[in-house]
Amino acid sequence: MELRQLRYFVAIFERRSISRAAEHLRISQPALTRQLHQLERYVGTPLFDRVPGGVSPTPAATALHEHARLVLRLADASREVARSAGPVREAVRVGLPPGVPASWIERVIGAVAREVPGAALTVTDASSVDQVRLLREGHLDLGLIHQRPPAPFAARLVLEQQLGLAVRPGHELARRRRCDLADLDGLRILAHSRDQVTAEHDRVLAEAEAQDIHPEWVFAWFTENAYACVLAGDAAAALLTRPSAERLLPGWRWIPFGPTGFALPLWLAQHPQTRTVVAAVADVVAATPAGDPG
């Protein structure tokens, strides 16, 4: 027995006519009659008696009708379930540190959706240090971190964000459009602890020492509480990227170092051997343009 035979049977049963059923089904009447006879042979009993103007269902047909409708509903539902499931997507776990420009993140997610439809991104907020640990423990597939990834992870530089100062309202530096490292001499400046941005921390300190410039550095580990840290440290300004400054210290004027400045790098870290979908997502992330460096 085939599903189409049940569909033909239901059409005849509900219209009480082979000719009207054939017209509804858009098949020839002889073809419909042949399918009905095959179904009757399968069930082993006649299903319709001929009467003036059409056919009349036998008791066997009446019993079969509800069963046939149920089978056909289940068949249609199975088809819809299969269609709605869509392609299977693999989870790709990505670490994200504070301070990454929202516009770049939006471009990355959009590009992955277009170019790697088999990937289902999940994002974990974590510092660079924590991401390296999570990568080692197998809890992340890709990390975006503010220091060059250690061995054995593969590394690609994807962004460089201009570092500058978020200056306390009313301070004389707030009137400047740019500043040099020399302008920080003697000022109390909040900066991330060395463990958070190791390479940039070392570079700023080394450059200040080389130029005989001596800011009063206030080092602190912070991701969300920069305002509490500058108040506790009585700092005149905080060393941050513009996206971080706008988020953590709203109302404080952000000015960049000039003319060459200092850049906070963002590295993409991944295991050397990884799943195909992870490698594809990594390629899209690395290829996404920086746009406004912020």
109: pLDDT strictly greater than 60: yes
pLDDT tens readout for residues 116-171? 999 999 999 888 889 999 999 999 999 999 888 998 999 999 998 888 899 999 99
Interhelix angle 276-287/102-115, nearest 10 degrees: 140
Give the distance from CA 33 to its chain's centroid. 56
Domain regions of the chain by residue span: 3-85, 90-287
259: pLDDT strictly greater than 90: no
Three-state secondary-structure class, residue 136? helix
Query: What pairing do the DSSP bridges indicate for beta strands 119-125 and 54-57?
Result: unpaired
Architecture of domain 90-287: 3-Layer(aba) Sandwich (3.40)
pLDDT tens readout for residues 19-40? 999 998 898 989 989 988 998 8
Q: Hey, which CATH number is domain 3-85, 3.40.50.720, 1.10.10.10, 2.40.128.520, 3.40.50.150?
A: 1.10.10.10
